[in-house]
Amino acid sequence: TGFGAMASTQAPSLPELTLRQGHYSLQLDGRPWLLLGAQIHNSNSWPQVLTTSWPAIMATHANTLLAPVYWQQLEPAPGHYDYSHIDALLAQTRAHHLHLVLLWFGSWKNGQMQYAPDWIKTDPVRYPRALSAKGQPLTDLSTFSQTNLQADRQAFTALMNHLKSMDGTRHTVVMVQVENEPGLFGAVRDHRPEADVAFAGPVPAELAQRLGHNAGNWSQVFGDRAEEAFQAWQTARYIDQVAAAGKAVYPLPTYVNTWLHYKNKHQPGLDYPSGGATDTVLDVWKAAAPHIDAIGTDLYATDRDEFDRVIGQYHRADNPAFISETGFDAAMPRLIYDALSASAVAFSTFGIDGDPASPADLAARQAYATEFALLDSINRPLAQALTEGRVRTDIEAAGKTRGDIDLGHHWKAQVSYGPPPWGDTPPTPAGSPHHDGHVLLVDLPDGSWLITGSRARVELRRDHADGRHGQIIRAGQGHFDAEGHWVMERLWNGDEIDYGLNFGDRPSLLRVVAGTY
Ligand code: N0T
């Protein structure tokens, strides 16, 4: 049976983010699917400009385009909507057979409000700004204004309504990002008079309870982080109401992306937007925003330890690993394998349509294309396996040139990085030139292993504690066809398996059947 075959009698179900048996997954047409995303630059969703970005988008081999919808463009006058951008995004994306994630650039874009319509920017009396500690207006809409909330909510609802009518049965759009890197710059919290009153008052009982705190005011409950937690609650409640209204008309999965508190960035409101879903206030966000299905990380760290540390903060029982942005950098895509070992549901890279001649972009494009093309070619079996804990990875690092993967049933895979394509495995393998090798191993339902990797040797070993010896019965190189059926191209044998399974720079896909004698 194929992995891709769809039950043809049922109407395709809406995309959904599910949590089953402790595993998150993004469901597309009712089956787990891995989102591999490419995001265009901020000002390239304009239909004419977008047409020129397609070669770059396609060259990444992503399966999903992430593209902004600008409130400023969508609602040129209060209550008047111009859907031409959304329609062009849908049409162009469909013509290229990709999926689409819409990024709602509404009240927030990178901790500011530049995407609000002109009629909002020019009317701070009706649409009040957050105030700094010195009482100065900031480039942020105040969350304390029902008028602000109402305006954003109405526009987002109009967007979702239109999307439902254009895409409600086709599902080109798989998710919606509500706002972009929300939070406040120029202050840790809003200092409007209403805000001061609320800050002096009690923490909402539902929040205190959820966090297991006694009742108290913000300072009593959150100590040094009180102002940031307060701003997070206000921001998350506002965004949750926007998301809830949109979901009421068209319930697509939603997420919020986060400008992270990491690297050397420690000061809320200065180094990163205060009140965004940083690790410092993630619990507050989870309590405040039940209509946001995932908190995403805009993870620009190419340093593997830092990357893994952040994934560890966000991959929790109440949140999937969701890589909403990474740098378009040749050193990033190898970290997909770390994300996958945390069962990530999405991995998307930002800014793929820069200068087509820049050497750095060309290198990044090549590096992403290699991993995205391979992973998308096994998307359905891989995503299904992720939801069942049947995926294992090993990743090379400087100073780590070997790895062991326990496969259960007496089997293990001994991985080494940098050995020759054949010949004995050196006792201390040198590692690959850039220490970027990796292995991905999937237990398939029929008991075989799907194995792929780059710059790595995999030696399958069985102990004979039960008196039986292990053998490779067949190692077939191949691919999955459009229906999800395995197509074998050749068998690896002889030198191709006597010295382990050797994966070079271009990843190949093996399906290995092992047994005992
Ligand atoms: C991202 C992108 C875009 C340690 C920046 C990251 C995108 C937004 N913001 O290229 O603007 O729309 O979501 C902000 C990280 C700032 C640098 C932190 C230095």
In a domain, 180, yes or no: yes
Query: Does ligand 1 lie within 6 Å of residue 259's CB atom?
Result: yes
CA distance 112 to 132: 13
CA distance 81 to 101: 20
Atom of ligand 1 nearest to the CA of 265: 4
CA of 183 to the centre of ligand 1 (A): 13
359's CB contacts (< 8 A; 6+ apart) are none
Nearest residue to 100 (alpha-carbon basis) of 321, 348, 269: 348
Q: What is the pLDDT of residues 350-405, one digit of tens each?
A: 999 999 899 999 999 999 999 999 999 999 999 999 999 999 999 998 889 999 99
Strand, coil or helix: 128: coil
Q: Read off the DSSP letter of residue 352.
A: -
Specify whether the CB–CB gap between 349 and 325 falls below 8 A: yes
Specify whether the CB–CB gap between 492 and 473 falls below 8 A: no
Atom of ligand 1 nearest to the CA of 324: 13
Same-domain status, 368 and 396:
no
ipTM above 0.85, yes or no: yes
Query: Does ligand 1 lie within 6 Å of residue 126's CB atom?
Result: no
pLDDT tier for residue 425 given thresholds of 50, 70 and 90: confident
Last residue of a domain, one of 349, 378, 407: 378
Q: Quick check: 439 pLDDT over 50?
A: yes
In a domain, 318, yes or no: yes
Tell me how crowded residue 201 is: count the other CB atoms within 10 A of its CB.
Answer: 10
**Residue 60, both tokens:** 């990444």
* Atom 8, ligand 1: residue with shortest CA distance: 110
Query: Does ligand 1 lie within 6 Å of residue 181's CB atom?
Result: yes
Last residue of a domain, one of 334, 355, 378: 378
CA distance 141 to 149: 9
Specify whether the CB–CB gap between 183 and 273 falls below 8 A: yes
Query: Does ligand 1 lie within 6 Å of residue 328's CB atom?
Result: no
Task: Count Cα atoms within 13 angstroms, Cβ side, for 21.
Answer: 6
Strand, coil or helix: 516: strand
Query: Does ligand 1 lie within 6 Å of residue 325's CB atom?
Result: yes
In a domain, 384, yes or no: no
In a domain, 97, yes or no: yes
What CATH code is carried by the domain that includes residue 349?
Answer: 3.20.20.80
Same-domain status, 312 and 454:
no
Most ligand 1 atoms within 8 A of CB, residue of 300, 307, 310 to mutate:
300
**Residue 158, both tokens:** 């109009």
* Atom 12, ligand 1: residue with shortest CA distance: 42
In a domain, 78, yes or no: yes
* Atom 9, ligand 1: residue with shortest CA distance: 110
pLDDT in the model for residue 423 = 86
What CATH code is carried by the domain that includes residue 408?
Answer: 2.60.220.20
Specify whether the CB–CB gap between 263 and 306 falls below 8 A: yes
Same-domain status, 370 and 414:
no
**Helix %, strand %, coil % of the chain (to 5):** 30, 30, 40
Most ligand 1 atoms within 8 A of CB, residue of 178, 259, 267 to mutate:
259
Sheet holding 402-408, edge to edge: 402-408, 411-417, 456-462, 501-503
pLDDT in the model for residue 4 = 47
Same-domain status, 154 and 213:
yes
pLDDT in the model for residue 10 = 54
CA distance 96 to 359: 26
Query: Does ligand 1 lie within 6 Å of residue 180's CB atom?
Result: yes
Same-domain status, 357 and 407:
no
Specify whether the CB–CB gap between 257 and 298 falls below 8 A: yes
Same-domain status, 409 and 313:
no
pTM higher than the cut 0.90: yes
Atom of ligand 1 nearest to the CA of 351: 10
Instruction: Please give, one letter per residue, the 3-state secondary structure of 69-102.
Output: EEHHHHCCECCECCCHHHHHHHHHHHHCCCEEEE
> Stretch 214-227: mean pLDDT, rounded?
95
Atom of ligand 1 nearest to the CA of 180: 13
Same-domain status, 50 and 150:
yes
Last residue of a domain, one of 338, 354, 378: 378
Nearest residue to 256 (alpha-carbon basis) of 319, 341, 310, 338: 319
pLDDT in the model for residue 254 = 98
> Stretch 45-59: mean pLDDT, rounded?
98
* Atom 16, ligand 1: residue with shortest CA distance: 259
pLDDT in the model for residue 5 = 46
Nearest residue to 142 (alpha-carbon basis) of 93, 75, 195: 195
CA distance 484 to 167: 25
Query: Does ligand 1 lie within 6 Å of residue 263's CB atom?
Result: yes
Q: Count structural domains, the chain.
A: 2
pLDDT tier for residue 265 given thresholds of 50, 70 and 90: confident
Query: Which residues constitute the domain of residue 135?
Result: 26-378
CA of 109 to the centre of ligand 1 (A): 10
Strand, coil or helix: 362: helix
Same-domain status, 345 and 397:
no
Same-domain status, 422 and 357:
no
Q: What is the pLDDT of residues 454-505, one digit of tens each?
A: 999 999 999 999 999 999 999 999 999 988 899 999 999 999 999 999 999 8
Same-domain status, 189 and 111:
yes
**Residue 6, both tokens:** 């769809």
Q: Read off the DSSP letter of residue 62.
A: -
Looking at residue 72, its amino acid is: Q
- What percent of the chain clears pLDDT 70, i.e. is strictly above it? 98
In a domain, 32, yes or no: yes
CA of 74 to the centre of ligand 1 (A): 23
Q: What is the pLDDT of residues 285-334, one digit of tens each?
A: 999 999 999 999 999 999 999 999 999 999 999 999 999 999 999 999 99
pLDDT tier for residue 11 given thresholds of 50, 70 and 90: low
In a domain, 411, yes or no: yes
Atom of ligand 1 nearest to the CA of 260: 15
In a domain, 82, yes or no: yes
Looking at residue 510, its amino acid is: L
CA of 350 to the centre of ligand 1 (A): 9
- H-helix segments, 252-378: 282-288, 304-314, 336-341, 359-377
Q: Quick check: 1 pLDDT over 70?
A: no
CA of 352 to the centre of ligand 1 (A): 14
Same-domain status, 103 and 148:
yes
Atom of ligand 1 nearest to the CA of 264: 4
Q: What is the pLDDT of residues 68-81, one digit of tens each?
A: 999 999 999 999 99
Strand, coil or helix: 205: helix
Same-domain status, 101 and 152:
yes
CA of 201 to the centre of ligand 1 (A): 34
Q: Quick check: 152 pLDDT over 80?
A: yes
